[in-house]
Structure 1
Amino acid sequence: RHTDEEVSERSCDSAARPAPEEEPCNTQPCPPFWEASAWSECSVSCGPGVQQRQLQCRQSFGSRSTMVHPQRCSHLTQPESTQACQLQLCSHWEVSSNWSTCSVDCGVGRRTRSVRCVSDQGSVVNENECNSRLRPQGSEECNMGPCVTNWYFTDWSNTCSAQCGPGVQKREVVCLTRGGVRDGGGGGDCVAEKPLEMKACNRGPCVPTVMWYSSPWSQCSVLCGDGSQRRDNICVKKMGSDFTVVPATECAHLEKPAAVQECDMGECEPQWFTTEWSACSQSCGKGLQVREVRCLTPDKQHSQACDPASKPEQEQIRNTIPCG
């Protein structure tokens, strides 16, 4: 009985089993394709460069692919085989200043100059972007020759210390090297004897002279407007640096300074004026007193410029005598 139902292979006669058969399938060849290698390193270590890669036209046959003639991939868009690259900006060292003056005036010192790392665009960048082995020197030793000491001094003072009679003139004396001041008032490293710092001078015999002496001006006599100031004038006799008060008659031959002068304290502001309070309006009990208040300028003209906040009261309540 045939039912076309699948059963176990043990139920069939193995000797009658047909041999396996193969037949071709999917007979169309696989399409070709472009295959690109990894990009090469950039052609330069800094600045604009180029990277390259290899391109192959390949085609798969079964489980493996094979390089085929590039013509087979001519219908496909070919990938780029080069591209621009820039690992970093190119920078270089630049000396931006001349050497400084030596740090000492004599002997061995140091001098410096500015060195900076600059990009191709001219901007200052971090020094790490420049080759440290190529960096120009920024500091070096300098020799200004041996240090020689000598005495140096100023001119004598223009005036004698006394206005008449004997006095002294002074000057400064220092022991110097080309590098600075040497210590030691007795000479220090200066071998030669120290020059004099003072010498005698004489302005001639002291002759007594008389003169008017004026005190400072007093304060102005008014707080505003035009006023006057006063001062005292006395006759004094001068002998050298000493002064003695003498009678005014000894200065009579000299023009006497003014004892009074005008002073201007600026324009006076208007101010409030009042009359006396009037009599109380009641003879006993609570009454009222009044008075007139006016704003007047310095020339006693009526004005509206007084400060209203400081205006005196015009009325006041009075209660002096109780009504019996």
Structure 2
Amino acid sequence: MKEEEKELENLQVSNVEGMWSEWSPCSRTCDGGTSFQIRKCNEVNGCFGETLRYRLCNMQACPDGVEFRDQQCASFNQIPYEGQTLEWSAYQGPQDDPCELRCIANTGLVATLAPQVQDGTRCKPGTLDLCVNGKCQRVGCDLVIGSEARVDICGVCGGDGSTCTQPLYHWVVEPASLCSVTCGNGYKMSQVLCRNIVTGHIVDSQLCDESQKPETKMIECNIHPCPAKWVGSSWSKCSVSCGGGSRSRTFSCMRKANSTLTKVPDFLCKGTRPREREPCNTVPCPPTWEVGPWSGCSVSCGEGVQTRSVTCKTSPYFSTEESFCDKNLKPDSTQSCTTGIPCNTGDKGGFLHGYLPFRPIAERLISEPVISSLSSNQPE
């Protein structure tokens, strides 16, 4: 037998039409419960009207602040559900019956743990309406179940709005956009709205005094400084196109304020400075011909020959066989050259191409003619 049926048996009930029993004990000790009365009909005369009525009771807030619906869900924590013990809390979806006990487990499972909540449970958070016998009952501002009494624009329960001594509506300035930055002094636009002073609801702007309307403005926001961070330049061009080179960049500790980056001491930046040099173009270079400088001309007068080294290399430091390089692209290793100095041929005139003797001897030969030993034996 249900608890409510037991209470009905214990009530002193009059069998006379219109005579109600005593009020039952309150269903809750705090935060709003329900109590009820019943009456039974005198079968001789017949009866008209309700046989059961409710009222609210114990409306004072509970000291622990725990929602009644949460308490009911938590009562199932020690009861196995589908073979496991779960921790439950209240859950209400937009389409759920407000007077069903719907709960969500710590695993995310949502289930109906009871067909109806206990009497006195709020239909929805923030309302006076209560569940009674599994049905959501309207509760007026006079705390009477089934009452249509509502608070008027002056904040008076059941009033007609004629008791206000202060303006009912006022202008409020509120943000109309998100802050332009998350730190470092940004701004956001404001908007001016007309609100009901009592309910806080937005109403038609015609209800507010136009002469008192404030102007929209820019509001400063997120004025706290941004954390400093490392800001780096772009990488430089790689030092080589292949064979392994390096590239570099520079980092500075910067802080943003008023949309401007400012250099600050390095210790303000968290973490170590990012690396400023790294290898690049590490792919091996194809073998290429590398030439050395030209030698001096092979003669001191007239025309001669110059030579140079031509080497097949895979890098500036490593040589390889010439067969790995394209022989059609091999540079010349010799070329003709001229000193611009004519060679002297002696008495017969003209020039002699070739090597000159050691310079002191050459100069002497030019300035002092050689007398042959044969010439002294010739007859005059």
TM-score (norm 1): 0.37
Q: Which of the pair has the greater relative contact order for Cα pairs under 8 Å at 6+ separation?
A: 1
TM-score (norm 2): 0.32
Say which one has the larger Rg. 1
